[in-house]
Amino acid sequence: MEMPANLKTLPPEAIDILRFYGQQGKTSAFADDIMEGAGLSPRGFGKFIRRLVTQSYVTSDGGGVYRLTDLGRRSVEALASLGDALPARSQRARTTIRVVRRRLVMGVPRMLTRAQPTNLIIGFEEAGDDDLLKDPVNLLLRINLVNGEPSAGRELTMLLSHRHTMQMVEITAGAPGSTVAMARIRVEVKQLSDFTGEYEDCGGMFVDIPISASAGDAPLIAYGTDIEIQGEAVED
């Protein structure tokens, strides 16, 4: 018997989750039990269970319980009928979650003019050959200034692929009549987690820039640091 066409589009780890239900003879299971039975890490489980939920193979009852839908039950039965004809995961294309380093860069004038808006350039360099991911990842960048605006923080969302990318943010150092001589620019980077559905810390940086009382033509200076991004890599 051949695997149904809809199941052929699922990654091996999602198939292993469905097979777990068949092996246990259950239509619902706790997340921890599924992770252990399918041999998945928490992040890997989060990614592939979300795929099954999105495609209506399972639903979430809350409290970490996942229940098979009608489509899920039929799919589990189809996989059971394949028996040994279904290759082990090690014999199929494998999806793995890996951590890569990406260079966060910031371009800003060497000196900021007091109470005068200026553009901050923020982005990422192109990924190296050893730091490629299969799919873009969703990032949240939070920028704030000490002794300047945005003091409460400004947030940017970014879909980061392996290509270089940049955005501009308007900042203003100091205030009219202020005597502070330095502004601190902070950049926090967070990544949207496939497991929790929330943004998680993955790095950042801060730099201190002098503040001038009068306008000038200060050249840009670039700062950079490596941050860690998690994503999917495919191995044959």
Q: Which residues contact 66 (CB under 8 A, 6 or more apart)?
A: 28, 29, 30, 31, 34, 49, 52, 53, 58, 59, 60
Beta pairing, strands 94-109 & 117-124: antiparallel
The tens-digit pLDDT sequence of the chain (236 residues) is 567 788 888 888 899 999 999 999 999 999 999 999 998 888 788 888 988 998 899 998 778 899 999 999 999 999 988 876 665 554 444 556 678 999 999 999 999 999 999 999 999 999 988 888 878 889 999 999 999 999 989 999 999 999 999 999 999 999 888 888 999 999 999 998 765 667 889 999 999 999 998 866 778 999 999 999 987 765 54
Type and span of the H or E element at 23? helix 12-24
Sheet holding 112-113, edge to edge: 112-113, 199-212, 182-192, 137-146, 154-160
